[in-house]
Chains A and B, each alone.
Chain A
Amino acid sequence: MTKKGILLLSLFACMLTLPMAMNAQCKQFAKNTCKAGLDPYQHDGNYHAALLIEGEEAELYKTFYSDRNYRIGVCGASNLSPIEFKVVDTRNGKVLYDNSLKDFDWKWDFKLESSQQLKIMVKVPVPNENVIEPEEGCVAIMFGSLDD
């Protein structure tokens, strides 16, 4: 194989493996950082994580059940500003929790008197409006629960 061919092949391999490596590390990040922080709440086994860019938003819909204690954890990679998240009643959009009012705490502990479907709204803040190279990093949303 020629030098040029090997170079092209290397570039192709790099393009193929880079996103996979990044995703794999996103899982490791979710597992080592976010899941570990749920303790003593038991993680439910669900995996919700993605590479997000500054300014990007995400929403997650989930049913939470009465008489259980929950911890929602929203974790962002260290190159991102603290992640903003709100918890909203899906029926009327009422904001039930806003972490910007709690010093951008990454977690929220709560329980419910009756089962509800809630929406978790997540935003990766843009620290500087004139940014040329926006940062990208892993953001994970995880849940843990405990018996009441």
Chain B
Amino acid sequence: MNRNLILTGRVSLLLFVFLGFILTGCNRGTKSEGVGSGDFEATGSLDAETQEQLNTAKRIFYSLPSPLETAMLIKNAGAEYNEGLMNPTENSSQYITSKSKALNLGIYSTDLSYASLFDQAQATLNYIEAAKEMADGLNILDAINEETIQRLEDHINNRDVIIDIISETLMNSSSFLKENGLEATASVILVGGWVEGLYIATNLVKENELEGKLVERIVDQKLSLDIMVNLLEESPDDEDAMAILEDVKVLKTIFDKITIEQGEVTAVEDPETNVTTLKSESSIEITQKVFNELKSKVIEIRTSYIS
């Protein structure tokens, strides 16, 4: 009996040692050394061959505009607010599959960002609830929790705080998915948000008025298409990502009909502000026919995502 107790005690001690290792071993170097040099570190031992392989290996990241950036680009282009272009929050209950939840998390996140940038308090609250429903459905733990919603309600008239909360929820979702090996879902969410932005933007362009910053922003999306294709192609075994890739490729064939001429880029730094300007000349060419084709295809794809 006593011997068993001693053994149990030793085993408990060992367990504590391991737990201690987990908790403290990953938490060394808590001293922050300022921005750009942080407080997380870990060490490991590698043989020379592995180190040599690492020296030649490269991690590749493809960065798409986030739902927040997409909405910012629309607002910055001087576009107006049109609630009728957003996916009604009442639709949220009809998204059952993980694909539709992921796509509509992106779509609702863009709508949420769009509403908040135009100071639409009630719409902002409605869309954060819809986005939460999608995130919960995808088991993205604590990306948007009750505390997030409470903070949003408390600061509903402070746009800067709201934007910061949205940015944080997007980062929480993205980091959770990537850390849990669900990169494909993270990609599908981003594409959903991007398509919603394109849908809103193309529908805000006035009939037969193919000029101005909003049109320029739509055309600029051509520059992100190969990034999007590469991002989705990183998940060849994911059925949802591959299905979305087909839609992106269809859009790419239309964007290929748009011409963007770009001159050489020269970097010029302002010594007073330390801000560099990337100077270059560019011109775009898009016909009404191609724009109409793009708009129709975007409507078709977006309708299939929200239905």
Contact = CB atoms under 8 A, between A and B. Distances in A.
A64 to B, nearest CB: 8
B290 to A, nearest CB: 18
Contacts of A21: 22-23, 26
Q: Is the interface of A mostly helix, strand, loop or mixed?
A: mixed
Contacts of A56: 54-55, 57, 59
Contact of A32 (B38, B265, B267): B38
Interface string B8-43: 001100110010011101110101110111111111
A36 B34 CA distance: 10
B59 A18 contact: no
Contacts of A36: 35
B279 A58 contact: no
Interface in B48-71: 51, 54-55, 57-69
Contact of A6 (B11, B51, B65, B226): B11
Which has the most chain A C-beta neighbours within 10 Å: B31, B163, B227, B281? Answer: B227
B251 interface: no
Given A61-B230, A94-B265, A3 B59 contact: no
A77 B37 CA distance: 5
B179 interface: yes
B117 to A, nearest CB: 11
B38 A77 contact: yes
18 contacts: A21-B23, A27-B175, A47-B171, A51-B42, A61-B62, A66-B220, A75-B38, A77-B41, A82-B36, A83-B36, A107-B35, A110-B276, A110-B278, A114-B280, A133-B46, A137-B40, A145-B69, A147-B72
Interface of B: 7, 10-11, 14-15, 18, 21-23, 25-27, 29, 31-33, 35-46, 51, 54-55, 57-69, 72-73, 76, 163-164, 166-171, 174-175, 178-179, 213, 216-217, 220, 223-224, 226-227, 230, 262, 264-265, 267, 273-282
